[in-house]
Amino acid sequence: MSDPVVPNPAASLQRPRARWLEASIRATAEAAEAICALFEQAGQGGVVIEPEIVPGRDADEGTADPNGFTLLKTYLADDPGIKARREILESRISLLRAFDLAPMGELEWRWLDEDDWANAWKSHYAIQRLGRSWVIKPEWQEFTPEPGDIVLELDPGMAFGTGLHPTTQTVLICLEELVGNGSLAGLDILDLGTGSGILAVGAARLGATSILALDVDRIAVTAAAHNARLNGVSASITVEHGTIGEPLPGLDPVPGLLPVEAYDGVMANIVARVIGERASAIAQAVRHGGWLITSGIIVDRENEATDALVASGLQLVARHLRGDWVTQVWHRP
C-alpha cells in the first residue's frame, strides 16, 4: 500500500475552478436513442436522461411518462477542444432535425461550475415506487419505508440509471417476476452496461450472491461502486471497466474486453444496436437453462436486437412495451 497523499490547502486555493458546458435537449423516445449516441461521442460526463415525471400520491413521489418527452443532457469540459466538440454536436443535431427523425426541442447551452455540474440534475429526481415493492430513493432525500418495501438508495452522479427511465423500471419489475419463481436466490449474474449500478444493486437485494457489473464509462464504474457500498451490497457486486466479447470490425476500440463466461442470469439495459452487435457474446454469457433481460430498446429498432439474439440460440419468452420502449426476457435452452 502506498503512502497517503496529503492535500495542500494553499494549492487548492490557487487552482482555478473547473467549468463545464451543459448541452440539453428535449426529445421523444424515437429521437432519444440517436441523440444519446451523439452525446456519448461528444460529451465527457456521460449522458443524463430525465423523463418527464407524472406526480405520484405524495408530493415527493412520481413516475416517468413513457410516452412523454425526455430531457437529455451531456457535459463538455472547458478545454482547448471544446469549440470543435460543440460545433460537431450542433451540426449533427441539425442533421437529425433535417431528417425529421422525431419531435425534438432546441439544443440549449449553459455554463456550470464543477459543483453545479455535479448537482444540476438533483432537483428533478423524486422518490419513486415501482412494481410490488421497489422504492428508488435519492441518497439526499429522507424516506421512511413501509413493510415490504425494497429500497434502492442511489446517487447516480453523471451515470445512466436514475430509475426514471421506463427501460430501467421495467427491468426491475422483470426481476421481481423472476423472484416470484424463486430464481434469483444464490445466482451469479452479469449486469452489462451497469450505469449507476441500480440493476446490480436490485439483483443483490433480491438474493443474487455474485454480480459482475460492467460499463465502458469510467464515470459509471465509479457511480456503481459507490451505490453498491451505499446499499450495503458491495460484497456481492464486482464493478469493472469494460465489456464482453471480441473487437468488432469498423467500430471504435472498446476498453477492457473480457473473455465470455457463463452466468445464471444476464441483464443488458443498453440499446438495440449494441445488443445486436454483441448478441453472440451476450448469448454465450447465459448459462444453459439461464435467463437474459434486454432493455433500452426503442420499438422501431427492436429487430436489430431480436433477430441477432434468436440467431444466437436464445428463445424469447416475454416482451414488455412501455411507450416506445421494449424490454425482453430470454431463455437459453
Task: Give the CATH number for residue 257.
Answer: 3.40.50.150
At 2 the pLDDT is: 29
At 113 the pLDDT is: 82
Of 110, 87, 123, 84, give the one whose Cα is nearest residue 19: 110
Domains: count for the chain = 2
At 17 the pLDDT is: 54
Residue 21's CATH number: 3.30.70.120
Above 70 in pLDDT, residue 81?
yes
At 11 the pLDDT is: 31
Q: Over the stretch 239-274, which tens digit does the pLDDT of each residue have?
A: 999 888 876 554 445 666 666 789 999 999 988 888
Tell me, yes or no, whether 141 lies in a domain.
Answer: no
Domain check: are 161 and 106 in the same one? Answer: no
Q: Over the stretch 203-222, which tens digit does the pLDDT of each residue have?
A: 999 999 999 999 888 878 98
Q: What's this model's pTM, rounded to 2 decimal places?
A: 0.73
Strands 19-27 and 70-77: antiparallel
Domain check: are 117 and 184 in the same one? Answer: no
Domain check: are 165 and 79 in the same one? Answer: no
Owner of C-alpha cell 443488458: 268
Give SS3 for 285.
Answer: coil
Q: Which long-range contacts (CB under 8 A, 24 or more apart) does 50-59 make?
A: 50/121, 50/124, 50/162, 50/164, 51/164, 51/165, 51/166, 53/124, 53/126, 53/164, 56/126, 56/128, 56/129, 58/127
At 149 the pLDDT is: 95
Tell me, yes or no, whether 75 lies in a domain.
Answer: yes
Q: Over the stretch 287-331, which tens digit does the pLDDT of each residue have?
A: 999 999 999 898 888 999 999 999 999 999 999 998 888 999 999
At 9 the pLDDT is: 29
Tell me, yes or no, whether 140 lies in a domain.
Answer: no
Structural domain that includes position 287: 156-331
Q: Over the stretch 96-130, which tens digit does the pLDDT of each residue have?
A: 888 766 678 899 999 988 677 666 656 667 788 99
Domain check: are 85 and 167 in the same one? Answer: no
H helical segments located in 160-301: 166-180, 198-205, 218-230, 272-277, 279-284
